[in-house]
Amino acid sequence: TQLLEQSPQFLSIQEGENLTVYCNSSSVFSSLQWYRQEPGEGPVLLVTVVTGGEVKKLKRLTFQFGDARKDSSLHITAAQPGDTGLYLCAGSNYQLIWGAGTKLIIKP
Amino acid sequence: SAVISQKPSRDICQRGTSLTIQCQVDSQVTMMFWYRQQPGQSLTLIATANQGSEATYESGFVIDKFPISRPNLTFSTLTVSNMSPEDSSIYLCSVLKQHEQYFGPGTRLTVT
């Protein structure tokens, strides 16, 4: 059974701080996706990483795929209240394996 | 990308009744998925619905409880049958397009 461990499950920080969310697995994935979900809406795809060691940036968000394609991280610089939401990672092989989610609250 | 709409957006139902959730996509897609999600938690795949074939259900989900229709490449329905309070959840429709997955806004179901 493939598992994708996501941590932390909950994070509440002040505006302006930095944070990192991790997704780890013992399985190799062909790609890994990060989603953000706000209350009352479906998850919205932020990024897909495909190549081992790949780094993608989306404004203040930096996504990294591990060299062995077993893990990934999401780093947010200078977090803002608008970053508040549920962040989900999902590893892809023949199906999507979902992390447990990280509920992020940025306090003004 | 894909734009997905779901109906209803929310409903409160009595136990023992059934609810059918509709999912409409703005473009033709081969693979559609139905998920269940508790608020603030991760997603659990219920089934994969491909047009022209029977839906494929994940472990713990059966066709009698969650019948799915997929009459064409832009539409699907999920029925939650003989509901109990344990079925209270958010139900999400999703599609795979160009190797990326897109989600509808979800249907929040409360069973009393």
pLDDT digits (tens, 9 = 90+) for B11-62: 999 999 999 999 999 999 988 999 999 988 999 999 999 888 889 999 999 9
Task: Identify whether the C-beta of residue B90 lies closer than 8 Å to the C-beta of residue B108.
Answer: yes
Identify the band that residue A1 occupies on the pLDDT scale cut at 50, 70 and 90. low
- In the predicted structure, residue A40 carries a pLDDT above the cut 90: no
- Which chain A residues have a beta carbon less than 8 Å from that of B41? 100-101
Phi, psi of A83, deg, nearest 5 = -80, -10
- Buried b or exposed e, range A72-86, using 16+ CB within 10 angstroms: bbbbbeebeeebbbb
- Which chain B residues have a beta carbon less than 8 Å from that of A44? 103
**Are the beta carbons of A42 and B99 separated by less than 8 Å?**
no
User: For residue B107, what are its two tokens?
Assistant: 């249907």
pLDDT tens-place string over residues B49-83:
988 888 999 999 999 999 999 999 999 999 999 99
Determine the residue of chain A that is closest to B91 in CA distance: A42
Q: CA nearest A104: which of A37, A32, A16?
A: A37
pLDDT tens-place string over residues A45-72:
999 999 999 999 999 999 999 999 999 9
**Are the beta carbons of B4 and A86 separated by less than 8 Å?**
no
Residues of A (14-33) whose Cβ lies below 8 Å from B? 31, 33
Question: Is A94 an 8 Å CB contact of chain B?
Answer: no
Look at residue A94 in the predicted model and tell me its pLDDT. Answer: 77
Which of A86, A87, A102, A105 to probe by mutation at the B interface, max B CB count within 10 Å? A86
Q: Nearest Cβ partner of B42 from A31, A48, A98? A: A98
Q: CA nearest A90: which of A14, A3, A1?
A: A3
pLDDT tens-place string over residues A71-97:
999 999 999 999 999 999 999 887 889
**Are the beta carbons of A40 and B106 separated by less than 8 Å?**
yes
